[in-house]
Structure 1
Amino acid sequence: MAPTTFLIIPTSLIYWIALSSHWGSYRQSCSMAIRPGPLSFSLFTTLFVFLFLVLLFTLGNLTYLQFKKLDDKFREAGELSAAAEIELALTEAIGLSEDKTFRLAAWEEVRQQLDNSTFYSYWYRYRAKNNEFVTAYNLDVAIYDIQGRVLAPIDTSLLPSVIDTQNPGYAIQVRESEPLILVVTPVVDPVSGKTQGYLATLSRLFTIFNSLSHFNYIDRNSIRITIEEADGLTSQALLEHIEYRLTGDPYAEAIKPLIKESLLQLAATALILTLIIFPLAAWLLNRPILQLSKQIDMLQSSPHTPIIQERVKPLFIKELDKIQSSLYAYHNKLSQAHTTLDQKNQELDDLAQHDPLTGVMNRRAFDAYWREVNDVFKHSTNEICLILFDINHFKALNDTYGHHTGDEILIAIAQTINSILHNREQLFRLSGDEFATILIGISPRKAMQIAKQCHLAITNYPFDKLGINEPVRISIGLADTSTDRDENINALQWQADVAIHFAKRPGYSSIVHFKPELAENARGLFSSKTHSAVYEAVTKGTGLVMHYQSIVDLEDGKPQYFEALVRIVHDGQLIMPSHIFPLVEARSLDQDLDFHVIEKTVSDLQEGRIPSNTGVSINISAPTIVENELVNRLAAFKPFMDNYKLLIEVTETALITQLQTARKNLETLRNMGFSIALDDFGSGYSSLRYLGAMPVDVVKFDITLTRLVDDRANNLILNHLAKMITESGHLLVAEGIETAQIAEQITKLGFRYGQGYYYGRPARKIAKSASRQDNANYSAKS
């Protein structure tokens, strides 16, 4: 045990006793006006530290280290002697075994057996181990001919039936942690000097080992082998696997009482010094440290309160006073930093909740405010009205006059509506051309007046200054809680959607206030249950499932891949796309839906719902195809690319909105291993333009083009169109094949793949027979 062990226990005990006790009282001896210079802590501690180090380390450590070195030298000498002793014993044992084997090989009976091995078995049983050359440690003896084969096989023999005659000598084996020595020596004719054969012996090495050697440094009973099985070891290799204990060193044993006595004396000295020095040091240090601790507690209770350092009482120890001053300076800087950070956080929060183009609140702010309105509605009788504003034909204006003019229209309309709303009423931009405001405590009649004022102000706005020749109009939908207060307030959103839907229709006013009869006329599209179910599924993935429809090879009718089609399960029934997408587009939830479709399709691949060695295609909407996040989301398909062909289907509309961004993302996806399919070809704008400009591999003819095969006048046009696209390197897929006659005609036109009810309706479960081994290559490069 080191001397410091004796010192730590009493030192720590007395130190903490001193700190936990109240030793007198300290009074400030100078006034607040005169701040005395603090004394150096070293003046109080130098003498004590010096005496402590001199007495303890000189008397204790040096003594102990000298004894430790002496003990180490004894042990080191013992280990070297033991290693030499064990090596010598092993060498002697190997030499004895070899000598016994050489003498046995010179025995005349051995040469006789080589001359005539007829009675070798008898000789082995009755003579081989019963002669003057064989001792108790010999386990087995065998004679081998000149080719190294044993003269006759013996069932009980421990030696091999064939030996290597090129390298006679010895080899060490280990069997069940017991070392055995195998010695092979040639049997030489004493007259001719020629080798007649070979003799091999197998002996217990440790038995020879113990019979020869007397160990002075090693405990004979502790010798053991650390391995259980081994072959072909040398003596040096065996030494690495021998373990043993050293015998006790009488010199070291004699020194230990002296060391113990010295350490006890040193410990007694340390205890006496500790009892004297540390209470005195604790009395000097305890009071200022307690004062500093109380000040830290005060800072923790008032973290944002600045400290006037000139009013703080000084500490008489220089180092502690410096700590106190630094602590207060740091506290003041930290308090200032917190104040600045709070201001920056408020600025960031404002930026996060405002639309950067128009300056009004954004969709994120609307959702947060809508949750607050829900809480108000539960505990208040105030009327709540939701007003939606939608710019008529904004996309056409944007395409005609350019994005810059479109931005100017949005800014002008936002400013105009904001000028009419009261200060406590916020305007929100929900999507590209849709705005909303929430009125609280205003009657339906007053809300209608505000809507009319907004409509009139926008109608009279001088948009011609922006270079716009046609009038810019808006449609307004209103919904309030006066219709049915018992209904959930979330119903206002779908009610306002219904109202603005009719405001856009011919024969209705541009401002429509929701009435129950409007919902009856649009029950299939805007029912409250459908709206809630779709919104829940699209935003959270609840109830959203994927159905799959096969795309088949028109030559053999076998599925090549499957198109993922979205459905929503609600109350045990399916909500179809005709009810899903209008609400998704109205609420600008395209991206949310697409990302959930990606997650669901990946999950189905993981569960094995889609047959291996086929493929799957997913539809990506226009707003999502230009998002950088899309590439990150689709990376989840990478583990399946070896067993599945993966396609991304985009419509012409998706390519028109932001052509360059769409092209960049699609090229990235192609490099990742996806194929790109142009969906609904022929239903949109200038379709042929995108075949050359965009990275498209597969062209899917819209159902309207597929049905032209029955029209002779248009059949020729369809034929030439299909031929031109095929020759350009694209694969053709025909949608909407519902009869065998259409399938036959489409095949003749050069289409390779087809899709439609004739081959199967979309289903959640895919038949096992849908899998095929000869998966097609959908790349345009093939």
Structure 2
Amino acid sequence: MRFRPIPLSLFTTFFVAVFLLLLFGLGRLTYLEIEKLNERFRNANQQLGDQEVASALTESLNIIDQKAVQLASWEEVIQQLLQPTYYTYWYRHRAKQNRFTSDYILDLALYDAEGNVLASIDTSLLPDHIQSDQLGLTIKISEYQPFVTVIKPVVNRQTNQLLGYISTLNQLMPIIESHHFSNADPATLNIDIEQSGHLSSEQFKQHLHYRLISMPYSQAIQSELADFLFRLAAITAILTLLIFPLAAWLVSRPIMAITYHINELKQYPYKKFDPVKDAPLLITELDTIRQSLDSYHNQLNQVNTTLDERNQQLQHLTQRDNLTGVLNRSAFDDYWNEISQLTGSKKLQTFLMLFDINHFKALNDSYGHQAGDDVLITIAQLINSMLRGREQLFRLGGDEFATILIGDNHRKAMQLAKQCHLAISNYPFEKLGILEPVRMSIGLAQSSTEDDSNLNTLLWQADVAVHFAKRPGYSNIVSFSAELAQHAQGLFSNRNQSVVFDAIDNGRGLVLFYQPIVNLETGHAEYYEALVRISHEDQLIMPSHIFPLVEARSLELDLDRQVIRKICADLKADKIPAGSGVSINLSAPTIVDSDLTNWLEALIPYTGQYKLLIEVTETALITQLETARKNLNKLRSMGFHIALDDFGSGYSSIRYLGTMPVDVVKFDITLTRLLDEPESNPILDHLAQMINESGHLLVAEGIETRSAATQLRQLGFRYGQGYYFGKPKAQIPAKQDYKHALNFSA
């Protein structure tokens, strides 16, 4: 008959219970003796500790009050109340770095005589308004930490006139803990409530608790306690020597048995074991382990019989893209190798068609990854529906798809590309929640019957074609040609890449060209737009060769930092005429970066003498709208103006005017050219009127004739920019008067 094993927990519980019972008896005797001694001194030490804590609290409050009085009489505080123009700068760089402040002062703020803060600061912990009846010192608890708020009047020492108030927010516990205590343990000081309103010092003391420092009599009983502990250790050692061998013997036998069984499983991997027929082990848990090993061993044999079938299924799955269901890059490479082997010496015309979604990252960031996935799935289905039976669609990665056409001529390949592009353009992506149009750029590359073009060559050619398909002035479908390759040499050459990366890393060769923005009413150059160039070996690398590399390597943040440093250097060197200004183009990643305001702090000293604008493109605003709004609001509070650049060339410009802190709107050159189309003039007129009425200043780009400047001024444009007034130059000419160009009379 199979007997029931005894659980290991029962063995352990029995021995531990006996051991703990003995220890408890000995410990109880010791505790009673020590408690008698403790009771004699506890009450006296408690009373002394209460007095120490009360005295430390009073002294700490006096220290905080004195610091507030010293700050109220500080000359810089009086100056800020008399002239608060630079309060924000003073607050960030001077307020907390003076001889009157201490580490326990968390924040301070200055208020005028009506109790209003001189300037609202996002990082301030103090309120924007105070009442005159709030003067003095109050204690408030937040998250178990006490904070002291002090409000003191600031008085003109000569006229005794009330200038305003100063308020400080102070940590209380660090000051209390810094006092010397003989009875109370400062490390154990704590508050028993999480939150509270304003408390007096007496009310606060009721919530302040502590423990006493070890009582002096402890040394008197140390020898007695040591003797006791020695006796306890001796008894424990004896018990351990008796109990441990017995427990080891009881546990080791079943463990050795299960070890032997595991070796048997290794020796006979294909043998089937019956868990029921084997003799049970002494301990339940070990017997359960043995039975589980037998079952697992038997199941493993069964799994091995179907493993080959599963591997075949996995091979099929590895050829498919999990999201869209089309073939993946691995299948694409295999497919090309199969084509090369099948055609052999036969030279068949082969086309590689590469699809790339325009602004997909912006759409993905704006609407979320789920919406981006839906767009990819829909586009894959649309392209698949256009392909013929023998053609396969591959997803190469991200938003890139490709297909290979065998035996077609150029006309048929272009016809298929147009059909795919039309299907995507006509699809109602509003069903997916996408409000902006989704557009596709398509690049075609072909291997001629005479060339042995490999896959990498065709991919490079198709990639170049897609690059030009995305550029203004080109169709959305572009076929690779030798002429495109020649234009792309500068863009993709190793030399240019090294020069651009060196300029971004070290600022070497980075120069700024300035183009005037002219006031169409007065004829004066109001400010200048800073445009990036890179100088190398007496040649200039233009933006068309710079920014594609920057975007491809995600170096926008690094380039913008170098541009900001260069503008600081030019302002310091007086390259910008005094009384004018400069506008800075910042990329989308920079606009939403948390360190943006820190980078631009170096320009704050120039905001009084120069008009400084931050130009933001629509593409920058369609990603992380809330973060962009917060950063732009901070920049406006620092003295910068915000300009919406390339208005009318992107997705939904009108939306940004209502939601973003924009001061200036720059019409894209495509809107300016509507002047040449009489039927489009009413559109331009109404747009300008609407934006003017909303309180924004208008700038027109691309002005090349006096007639255009005159018409735009009549339409309500305040400023103009273009080659008619001047091309971008490294040095701004001394004379910048355009009254004659605008046909103004002196």
If the length of structure 2 is used for normalisation, what is the TM-score? 0.44
> Computing the radius of gyration over CA atoms, which structure comes out larger, 1 or 2?
1
TM-score, length-scaled by structure 1: 0.43
